[in-house]
Amino acid sequence: MKNIDENRLLKIIKFTPSIFILIITIVYTSTLTVKHKNDLENEKRDIESKFIENEKRDAKSLVNTLHQSINNRKNSEDKNLKYELKNEVTNAYIVAYRIFNKYKNLKSKEEITNMIKNSLRDLRYLKGRAYHFVYTQNGISILDAKFPEVEGSNIWNHKDSKGLYLIQETSKIVESKIETYFNWYEIKNENKKIEYKKLGFFKKFEPYNWIIASSEYLVDFENIIKQEVLTNIKSLKYKDKEHVFVLEENGEILSNKYLALSGKSIYQQEETKHLKELSEKNKKELENGIFISHDSNKYKKISYLKLVKDWNWIIGISFNIKDIESVIKEKQNILEKKYNAYLMNSFFISGILILILLAISVFVSMYIEKIFYKYKTQLEKKQKTLIRAQRTAQIGDWNLDVKTMKAYFSKETLNILGLSTLHENKNGYKFLKKLISEENWQELDLAIKNAMKNEDKISCLFKIKRGLDKEIAWIDIKGKFNSTDKNIYGTIQDITDRKKIEIEKEEKETLLYRQSKMAAMGEMISNIAHQWRQPLSAISTASTGTKIQKEMGSLSDKELFQALDGINNSAQYLSQTIEDFRLFFSPSENKISEFKISNTLKKTLNLISAQFAAKDIEIIKNIEEMEILSLENELIQVLVNLLNNSRDALLNIKGRRLIFIDISNVNNSLLIEIYDNGKGIQEDIIDRIFEPYFTTKHQSQGTGIGLYMTQEIITKLLNGTIEVKNSTFTYENIEYKGGKFSIKLSSLSYS
């Protein structure tokens, strides 16, 4: 069966590339043909679209340029009008001033006035529309070239059509400014119902306090500009086919290629009357320029229109789509020929490539066949190597099909589980239930279900009885859900040897802890002896003295009571000492509780103070009061160990023997620092002092487990850290050196 599968695989390797190339060729050719047609149609549409867009862009550019030119012309003519008015009034001023200056000493004011009036009366400009008028600053008309009948009358209260007092306003302005431009409204004689804006220039004639002025209707000046602009527009051509057209906002044709239509309304023409609705609908957009499409039986046009706001003109250009269809068609034909040639070349090149690929595929198939046999041999070797490696590492693999719940276990996995055959696979993974406890089985089953549901990982550690020999073994089961094939893949490792080592280590640590307790107990018994020596001596002295005094008949009641009080106080002290030591060694006291750190230090010193006092050791405390939540008895043991370590270091010191205890709250952590003046720890051994059974003392003086257990208690029970270093410090102006232990308990609650 295996050979048949291999032969089938080899045939697939041989023929699949050729078949695949043929299929790809057919698909490619079909796709290329369809794509060619689609691309051709898209290109045709794109040519038409781009051509129209280019036409629209050119039309828009020309209209916008023309629009800007009209605005520039209008603005420049406004300046020209102001310049011409000012120039003519200035000339009139010069004429009047020369006459005055020449005859001021020869003739009367009235004679000079008449000479000036005669000189200015017939002056005309702006094609005869503009003239001069003169009046005094208090409103008396001196000269009015157009209306001489008002000369000599008072025009001070003359108002324009808007109620503006023209003479009064201009008189005030020229009084300070000498000359000024001024706008007002007047009704023209030709049409008395419509008001028109005028622009005038006024200049003060100082010798007689006159105002010389001239004015022009803006509409008249504007109409001249419009006619000049229309004349220029009529000469413009757009691509030798279309003319620029100009419409009034009401649709009246001002300029068009069909000059016969000029003066008529475009909205009245049959083919263009629909533009009225489009223009009114898009009136706001007209200010920025808009494109409008309009179709009829004869043509399909696109127009670009833009409003000349101040004149209410609409200027535009139209182009007929039908006129450019032949150009578009010609370009599309060129494109089609190009595409057809490209398609034929593609087919030719594809045919050659197919033949080359077929030849290559045959060669590659033969080469792959050769590689396959070589790979098969190497794979078999690697599988054997993997099996040996799994056996050496005691690791096996397994997988579970979550759909069928069928399991696969490698040979090494079966060896780890103590199973001889694969017959258990028919029951999936549930046969493991026979090997592990009910509690562990529920944990494993839940882990597999969670992995299936949440695509999670599996990690379980179990103690089992092997299937064949019922030997106890520890196995580490790991796995991960694969969402692609819905399988769980994992490993099973026999960690029995490692587990035994961990158990032995725990047993050794337990033994060390007991040894530490026993050592501490021996130390405490010695402390009890020191603590009791003085009270017992006091009791003995009091009782013996009382007896002697009684026998001699010299015992008074006062002396008797004093002796009895002394015996009672000493007995109470002995009782309290026993209670302190009992609490220290009581297992029931080894529980987390809240306590004051100062009380804990007091209890610690009560246990050891007698020995320290006997050896002339001073203890200097610097304590920041706080409450702590921890194991008080374990903390007392740590403090006793560290203080005893300092005591031993000070025994060889001559002079003052000092131990310092600093307790503070640093960043919500308890910091305990214990240091002495014992000259420090040798630098070559300071990194080893926390190792078990390491000691620098004689065997009769130390076991080497005190500091090791201190570190174990702090790190594992009190959730803290301990560090040691040599430090130099000054106390009472004297510099000392000694070892310094720093304890930091970070996971504590303070209040």
pLDDT at 732 over 80: yes
User: Residue 130: pLDDT above 80?
Assistant: yes
pLDDT digits (tens, 9 = 90+) for 272-325: 555 555 566 566 677 777 777 766 556 677 777 777 777 777 777 776 666 666
The most confident of 247-261, 419-433, 544-558, by mean pLDDT? 544-558
Whole-number pLDDT of residue 12: 72
Distance CA 285, CA 354 (A): 60
Read off the pLDDT of residues 464-479 as tens digits, 9 standing for 90 and up.
767 656 677 777 788 7
Beta strand 617-623 with 657-666: parallel, antiparallel or unpaired?
Answer: parallel
pLDDT value, residue 23: 80
Question: Could you tell me if 739 and 678 are in contact, meaning their C-beta atoms sit under 8 angstroms apart?
Answer: yes
pLDDT value for 337: 72
| Both tokens assigned to 244 | 């620029």
Q: In the structure, what pLDDT confidence band is assigned to residue 95 with cuts at 50, 70 and 90? A: very high
Q: Is the pLDDT of residue 50 over 70?
A: yes
pLDDT at 400: 75
Burial class of residue 203 (count of CB atoms within 10 Å of its CB; 0-12, 13-18, 19+): buried
Query: Which comes out higher in pLDDT, residue 497 or 216?
Result: 216
Among 94-103, 368-377, 599-608, the range of highest mean pLDDT:
94-103
Task: Kindly compute the dihedral angle of the four CA atoms of residues 563, 568, 572, 575, in this order, to the nearest 10 degrees.
Answer: 110
In sequence order, what are the residues at sequence separation of 6 or more whose Cβ sits closer than 8 angstroms to the Cβ of residue 438? Answer: none
The type of residue at 238 is: Y
Confidence of residue 260 (pLDDT cuts 50, 70, 90): very low
Model pLDDT, residue 444 = 74
pLDDT score, position 315: 78
Phi-psi region for residue 95, left (φ > 0), alpha (ψ -120 to 50) or beta?
alpha
The whole-number pLDDT of residue 534 equals 53
Amino acid occupying residue 95: V
The pLDDT value given to residue 103: 92
Radius of gyration from C-alpha coordinates of the chain: 59
Which of 178-182, 576-580, 638-642 shows the lowest mean pLDDT across its residues?
A: 576-580
Higher pLDDT, 120 or 524: 120
What's the CA gap between 516 and 220, in Å, rounded?
121
What residues does 253 pair with on adjacent strands?
Answer: 247
In whole angstroms, give the CA distance from residue 631 to residue 491: 41
Sign of CA dihedral 534, 536, 540, 546: positive
657 Cβ partners below 8 Å, 6+ apart? 615, 616, 617, 618, 650, 676, 677
More confident residue, 124 or 499: 124
At 627 the pLDDT is 87
643 compared with 274, residue with greater pLDDT: 643
Per residue in 582-628, pLDDT (tens digit) is 555 555 456 788 889 988 888 888 877 777 887 889 999 999 988 88
Q: What is the pLDDT of residue 658?
A: 93
Mean per-residue pLDDT over the chain, rounded: 75
Q: Give the pLDDT band of residue 661 (cuts 50, 70, 90).
A: very high
Beta strand 242-243 pairing with 237-238: antiparallel
Q: Nearest 5 degrees, angle CA 700-CA 705-CA 711?
A: 150
